[in-house]
Structure 1
């Protein structure tokens, strides 16, 4: 080691040590004080430090990312267990770990490392170290130190600012050498208490970027969290390039850097004799291309078990088609590659496509491995592209799933690629539409009803309908129609097959609603909304995390009540009209001849609410709830 190198390393370590010392000067409360301040937490993280540095590597891995973590946990109650975990894979490794008690004694029986497991299936290219912390008494504390190394710079995509437990202080320190160009996006900082600094050291040719976060709420108990990209505070990192000698080497500097890498990871589709024979037999009764595509996609969705896991090399390299076919399980890449291979064998131009699934808050132009988290199969038929997601069941051919609609999709084209735009849908593509025709019979309503489901609402309902015991399917259907209201009695109900892949799932039924009218003598009170969606769904205004409204969708109701001759309308609730960026609520009661018609629309066009939106949302919910609580007044004295 040269004198110059020793001097620079010493300076860097001294700077980090002094920085950590200043960072850790935090006044400590007693355990009872912490428990009083944080009554919902069993364990808190007192101090959390993550340090990122970079070193020159080998020809295969020119730049190495080194990550050192230190977390000090304290229990607020006795007999508490906490599990911390770190993933690693073919392109990263855990280089060290140590667990110390509050008395400085080192524990040696706290870690289990190995293949990651989901439902009994093990992933050999995705591994995990799990650290088991058992706090016997309130006030017990542990400090967990871990070291991780990322060997492929492309896989350095995010820096988490959050921790699972409530964290009183967390610091991120990135020592960025001048030879490395990173682009950093600050994501979801929102209402969090985050401070940042950036200092360049010209002597050591180093820029130190630091983030300090204070009183970060626990994320494990937060409900209605959006996707990671829209919910948790983190840094999105794009490694652009590095300097080697007099050359600048691109990593993810231009779109072709990323997309060429995608294509380099896949091989030409191939099928074994067994898979070829099976595929030909599967479509033997099909005469059109559409029928063959439907047969292949339906079989894969029905018979191949989807394992929703993304990590390591498996996040980008699909398993061979024959492997998925024999195993009868696979992730999105393996299932898409199986679809591509089977369809290619049938002479259909099928390709692989990289896309982001779900709601994303990342800038679309971002060149990062975090930007495309899903693989699909894309069929080119004449001048048309058909986007097929084999992980979704009951999807009609050419139906665009909500999760990928409107997204950029990178599609393989031989050894090259094209960038396509998946057609966008609108919120009413995910529709629940209810139509009732009602008459009054004594103190009850007799109802002819119809419920129409489309899009993600249909897919989710059919998924649950097909994954419960056969003797419970009828109960689910009845609950979906009448909820938990014991005043509803279903007389007759008709439904399509549970596994239908039609774009519409329509339930028709006849029912009676008891105790529907309140008789006050010369007046009768009634409500024509039996569902009251979103009623009272206010959000805690001190919540710091974004809120997920469960997707874009449209709920429509039209309820017609035929008025008997002895009842006349005396008073109707005032109309509802709420129009906000991201959602619209309308409702009205109108008399049309001898019918009273109730119409309601609840449209969610942006499913993620930020803390800045909560106040207006809560005011809207109060107005909506007030509308629900108003009743129709009919008169018997006229």
Structure 2
């Protein structure tokens, strides 16, 4: 046990993982299917789950068969001792949730130990999955987040009648072996990644492959599966064609929403706001494996829907008024893929594309704070597949400019008082406003009064806030005032040392075995403080040239303007995540920025 704790630390360590993928011909359906065998041996150190619950998900296009499962304890000599041989044929089958999203046709088979498990135990199990539709054969991970792996093997047996493509990601340290019979990947001693609340999603950094079946040869008939994005869109579009909305209901609803409005922009705005305000987004993936939208009139009547249902409702409402609205598919920023990969794994979201005045707008009705003219931050920089009947176009949603999303902090720091006071004016624009409004909509009535404090608190380290007032909110600007005491000072023998720079960088360095940092959106933080000091000036002013690069930079300086003394800061982040591979530049930048939090101004 000490070896694994020393090498991998506490948590889940997979001692052995083996996944074998083979293609088989089914005589009954006269089509090819995929059979995938999984074998696992997992060691838990410092276990908090006495039952050792294991869940294996599957959906309607798969058949799952559990083969065996055993639980072992570790004796004083480090040897396995059998605790229970689980009767897997009696395993439970339940609905499955992923990140609190319910999938109507996604199930899970699960089993657990009937005995209380010790802190350290081993579970071994195996199962077989039959893929009835090869479109759903996609990603296979060598390890998951917070999982160390001692020995892993993923193999694909070749079949002359099945052509497939493999897209690999983050395979440093993974050996690839290929011959006429199979492709095999082997990994040894994969260290555990330790993510945080500001880390990018696992597919950005974890080793994995995506298998996309191009075509099959069924007795001389060539059947394209996902040979290109054309096939992907063809299937998506077939699901849209199956929809039969009640257009009489939709037309009447749209007319009641727009009322007497004659301006097209106003009509669009009213329809979008009605959907935002009246349709509750629910984490419920309904339909064919979560890909087919619910009917527009069903969503409108029930007043709830998932992303596809809400997008479909928007498309139908706008089309009923003559607007060129279209269904659009994309992966949010949680997905590190684009449409160069023809696979279902690329997408996890649907929105409404609207071609209006020779420009394409992207309307996401699941976002309750942005206007139809803006795109939510979690979609920035992503490719989107926009429907055009039997054709489609692939576009890229633009990344916002750091100057679009700004926090301005200005104020006065008064050192003439025995306990220095500070009075600040806070202003937000862009995505900061949208986040504020979204938080306000989701908070309880009693908590709303504290929202301005929660939103700015992280930037006010060293300030004891006593009052927040003059809160003003609009679609484009949030503003309020803050007053309190400034605590970042030190007094010695009548001398005063002031640490004037605020901690405006909320991200930290990336340590070993940690993934890259996810940036919410490009942004600018400006701080300008006037120092009132009773006529005294610090011994010297400080000017610092800009540090960082074009993607992330900061400037700190002090200046004397007439009889006034000012402390200035500017932080600019013009990226959506830090480098995925080399963290050197980011870590150097963070170190230098954090160092300025301790820069002193000395008053004698």
1:595 matches 2:575: no
Matched position secondary structure for 1:624 = helix
Maintained 8 Å contact 1:32/1:76: no
Q: Give the one of 110, 118, 122 matched to 1:141.
A: 122
Q: CA deviation at 1:223?
A: 5.0
Maintained 8 Å contact 1:75/1:137: no
Aligned position for 1:24: none
1:167 matches 2:146: no
1:242 matches 2:216: yes
TM-score w.r.t. length of structure 1: 0.83
Structure 1: gaps of 5 or more residues: 1-30, 201-205
Q: Give the one of 131, 151, 154 matched to 2:111.
A: 131
Q: CA deviation at 1:630?
A: 0.7
Change (3 A) 1:569 1:122: closer
Q: CA deviation at 1:524?
A: 3.4
User: Matches of residues 188-587 of structure 1 in structure 2 within 5 Å?
Assistant: 188-190=170-172, 193-200=173-180, 206=181, 208-218=182-192, 223-267=197-241, 270-271=245-246, 276-308=251-283, 313-358=288-333, 360-362=335-337, 364-443=339-418, 444-455=420-431, 457-483=432-458, 487-497=463-473, 502=475, 504-515=476-487, 517-520=489-492, 523-534=495-506, 537-541=508-512, 543=513, 545-563=514-532, 566-575=535-544, 577-580=546-549, 582-587=551-556
d(CA) in 1 for partners of 2:511, 2:456: 30
Maintained 8 Å contact 2:497/2:600: yes
Give the stretch that moved more between structures: 366-375 or 136-145: 136-145
Q: CA deviation at 1:150?
A: 1.3
Question: How far does the alpha carbon of each residue in 1:356-387 deviate from its partner, in whole angstroms, 9 at most, with x for none?
Answer: 21154335422222223221111222423221
Backbone CA RMSD of aligned residues: 3.2
TM-score w.r.t. length of structure 2: 0.87
d(CA) in 2 for partners of 1:59, 1:250: 20
Question: How far does the alpha carbon of each residue in 1:434-487 deviate from its partner, in whole angstroms, 9 at most, with x for none?
Answer: 2334454414234241221322x3333332232222111122312333457684
Maintained 8 Å contact 1:493/1:507: no
1:151 matches 2:132: yes
Aligned position for 2:78: none
Question: How far does the alpha carbon of each residue in 1:383-422 deviate from its partner, in whole angstroms, 9 at most, with x for none?
Answer: 2322101111111221122332343322222343333343
Matched position secondary structure for 2:436 = helix
Maintained 8 Å contact 1:269/1:340: no
Matched position secondary structure for 1:466 = helix
d(CA) in 1 for partners of 2:435, 2:312: 25
Aligned position for 1:98: 68
Maintained 8 Å contact 2:100/2:283: no
Q: CA deviation at 1:353?
A: 0.9
d(CA) in 1 for partners of 2:197, 2:246: 44
Give the stretch that moved more between structures: 430-439 or 304-313: 304-313
Question: How far does the alpha carbon of each residue in 1:22-68 deviate from its partner, in whole angstroms, 9 at most, with x for none?
Answer: xxxxxxxxx34434544422x43221111111112368672211111
d(CA) in 2 for partners of 1:439, 1:602: 24
Maintained 8 Å contact 1:61/1:151: no
Aligned position for 2:159: 177
Maintained 8 Å contact 1:90/1:312: no
Maintained 8 Å contact 2:353/2:361: yes
d(CA) in 2 for partners of 1:36, 1:363: 39
Maintained 8 Å contact 1:271/1:345: no
Change (3 A) 1:104 1:438: closer
d(CA) in 2 for partners of 1:85, 1:602: 45
Structure 2: gaps of 5 or more residues: 73-81
